[in-house]
Amino acid sequence: MAILQLNDIRKTFHPGTVNEKRALDGITLDVDAGEFITIIGSNGAGKSTLFNAICGSFAVDAGSITLDGRDITDMPDYKRSYDIGRLFQDPMKGTAPHMTIEENMALAYCRKASKSFFAVNKKDSAYFRELLAQLDLGLEDRMKTKIGLLSGGQRQAVSLLMSTISDPKLLLLDEHTAALDPATAKKVLGITVDIVEKTKTATMMITHDIRAALELGTRTIMMDEGKIILDIKGEERAGMTVDDLLNLYSRESKKQLANDRMLFSTQKE
């Protein structure tokens, strides 16, 4: 059953001007409950714009967005955020730096508890400690530490917990490991997979690493010029190599992939 349905989503920025940009060009996509989709594409392909459309950062020009059977096309972004968790590339986004780890988690948790304010009681604190211990980063012993003092990787790991603690219907990961060093990125990616598998949350993850896009999750889509040009899953995806995917991209887009970050990632061991 589809938890998210996008039907012919279209968005053009600065229409009628020299800066006109067709960012989303007829996106139609169903995301099933529990599905983990990786998304790749060159710069300007429309990946983050797609996430912004789903989150309600702007009004789409045409099409409809349905989440868990409810039409959210015209719903304000702050209301959508109750059901949609999102992580950004910048570890500084999504948390309050001058609040402690515990307070940040309580702020996210108050949505699940249907509170109009947040407060940390002993029961909640014990629950947060249990969740943090699962990260294996020692953060359960630093719950009184201001989150702004954490490293980028630690902060992204906590942000992952915050994004899933309220049981969202959809989790959006916008290159959330790209700003981290390779070792930390690998650690956070592992934590991501563990959390997604444990919570069974429908997840969409943008990545520039083609190999990771094929190895992680259950389905891979590739975007180009605001369109989905490839949608691969099942046996086709299981046996696909990076070269196979690049060849498919060239065939469908009638051009070569021109993204240094993505091409570099194909050379990594």
pLDDT digits (tens, 9 = 90+) for 207-255: 988 888 999 999 999 999 999 999 999 999 998 999 998 888 888 776 6
Kind of pairing between the strands at 62-67 and 202-206: unpaired
Residue written as token pair 């020299």:
18
Q: What percent of the chain has pLDDT over 70?
A: 91
Is residue 43 in some structural domain? Answer: yes
Distances in Å between the Cα of 120 and the Cα atoms of 109, 114, 144 are 10, 14, 12
Is residue 13 in some structural domain? Answer: yes
Number of domains in the chain: 1
pLDDT of residue 134: 87
pLDDT of residue 259: 52
Is residue 136 in some structural domain? Answer: no
pLDDT value at 93 more than 70: yes
pLDDT of residue 264: 44
- Rounded Cα–Cα distance for residues 269 and 261 (Å): 15
**Domain that includes residue 21, residue range:** 2-96+168-265
Is residue 161 in some structural domain? Answer: no
Is residue 15 in some structural domain? Answer: yes
pLDDT of residue 39: 96
Is residue 41 in some structural domain? Answer: yes
Residue 198, CB-side half-sphere exposure with 13 Å CA sphere: 14
Q: The domain that contains 175 carries what CATH number?
A: 3.40.50.300
